[in-house]
Structure 1
Amino acid sequence: MSDNDHDLADAQRRHWQDTYTAHPGMYGEQPSAPAVHAASVFRAAGAGDVLELGAGHGRDALYFARQGFTVQATDFSATGLEQLQEAARAQDVDQRVTTAVHDVRDPLPLPDASVDAVFAHMLLCMALSSKEIHTLVGEIGRVLRPGGTFVYTVRHTGDAHFGSGSAHGDDIYEHGGFAVHFFPRGLVDALAEGWTLNEVHAFEEGDLPRRLWRVTQSLSG
């Protein structure tokens, strides 16, 4: 990682910490639509445990737990995870939820073939380089059991914010303090090499609206 990449990563970490502190539960209590879809995919695949990357304050992790999954939730914001833990206790699902502060630029803190499913809503399109994203997906493949499923969402190059704001290179643009790596379709296909690419579903979210892909891919059993 270059010095500029380190600076951007550190700035993003501080920005998310400050954001979660200033706006507790900023995304509300209802799960995202991708999480609702992922739960049905995971259940159909026979998954029992889910790893969520970039869980934030936990609206999706808590939904998975309420659906009966055992959930491991990670985020680089300790503040967000503290809010998640408090909500898990309030919803009486804390026995099914564990949390860990973790930066996805580092190896995942899990053994090989130790989880059934992985979920990441807009985590891969944070301020990560293409190389870092490839490394992360390799780590996800390492921790998934054979036949495991990975569902992720990313903003793509058809989004209204792509190409505007502060450019950081590698299709990363910053708006309002949040840096986003906008995915071209070729990156989605490259990340699926060695996997079965089950679905690339286009959808919209929010007021702009943000334009995203929901990607489902699985390891061979």
Structure 2
Amino acid sequence: MHGDGQELGEVQREHWEQTYGAHPRMYGDRPSDPAVHAAESFRAAGARDVLELGAGHGRDALFFARSGFTVLATDFSLVGLSRLREAATAEGLAEKVTTAVHDVRDPLPLADASVDAVFAHMLLCMALSTEEIHALVAEVRRVLRPGGTFVYTVRHTGDAHYTAGTGHGDDIWEHGGFAVHFFPRHLVDALAEGWESAEVHPFEEGELPRRLWRVTQTLRR
């Protein structure tokens, strides 16, 4: 992001740092339903290693490690990743989990075709511009091996918080301190162009409830 967008991104980074500091287990210890689905998809595709983007305090990264995958967990929150490393050590999973502080507005710190699978739960729908989202998915494509699987979830324009709160343009709305880029369906379709297949599954999560899509797309072998 540039200008106002860059500033919004930095505000969001600080907000997440404070949130993880005040609520170290804010999402609990159980894996998200999308992570359970992703693990099944990754296993069926023969994946051994997983890159998780926006891992937070690590409930899904730890689940992937317990499921036998080697995990690289990234987030822009140093606090969240510190909690993840502590939990991995406590569970005897330290050798299965590596962490890296990373802002997804920057290129991924990985070589071309170097991972089997990528997972991102509600990361693409943070305060990222449409241009930045396209660039991130291009990076995911770059680092995935042929036949690799990408599972991501996003809140969409049918969500109750869409158009609520403060509008920042580009379908980004801020509510309760959290800025969300709500996805229209045509954006999901555009991000799937050039991939071998893409499944879009609608689901709900939380008390509001949040309305999301779970997207599973694979690269050609």
TM over 0.5: yes
Match of 2:130 in 1: 130
| 5+ residue gaps, structure 1 | none
TM-fit CA distance, 1:2? 2.5
Alignment of 1:144-163 (within 5 A): 144-163=144-163
CA–CA distance in 2 between the matches of 1:56 and 1:26? 10
Q: Secondary structure at the match of 2:112?
A: coil
Match of 1:28 in 2: 28
Alignment of 1:21-60 (within 5 A): 21-60=21-60
Q: Deviations over 1:47-87 (max 9, x none)?
A: 00000000000000000000000000000000000000000
Q: Secondary structure at the match of 1:186?
A: helix
Q: Which amino acid aligns with 1:50?
A: V
Q: Deviations over 1:105-142 (max 9, x none)?
A: 00000000000000000000000000000000000000
Alignment of 1:205-220 (within 5 A): 205-220=205-220
CA–CA distance in 1 between the matches of 2:179 and 2:51? 24
Q: Secondary structure at the match of 1:95?
A: coil
Q: Which amino acid aligns with 1:8?
A: L
Q: Secondary structure at the match of 2:99?
A: strand
Query: What is the aligned-residue RMSD (CA, Å)?
Result: 0.5
TM-fit CA distance, 1:196? 2.2
Q: Which amino acid aligns with 2:31?
A: P
Alignment of 1:58-73 (within 5 A): 58-73=58-73
CA–CA distance in 2 between the matches of 1:38 and 1:177? 29
Q: Does 1:74 align with 2:51?
A: no
Match of 1:191 in 2: 191
Alignment of 1:105-120 (within 5 A): 105-120=105-120
TM-fit CA distance, 1:3? 1.2
Contact 2:119 2:150 in 1 (8 A): yes
CA–CA distance in 2 between the matches of 1:196 and 1:167? 35
Percent of counterpart pairs with the same letter? 74
Match of 2:141 in 1: 141
Q: Deviations over 1:18-60 (max 9, x none)?
A: 0000111111110000000000000000000000000000000
TM-score (norm 2): 0.99
TM-score (norm 1): 0.99
TM-fit CA distance, 1:198? 2.9
Q: Does 1:89 align with 2:99?
A: no
Number of equivalenced pairs: 221
CA–CA distance in 1 between the matches of 2:142 and 2:49? 15
Q: Which amino acid aligns with 2:18?
A: D
Q: Secondary structure at the match of 2:95?
A: helix
Q: Secondary structure at the match of 1:195?
A: coil
CA–CA distance in 2 between the matches of 1:14 and 1:113? 32
Q: Which amino acid aligns with 1:119?
A: F
CA–CA distance in 1 between the matches of 2:183 and 2:131? 13
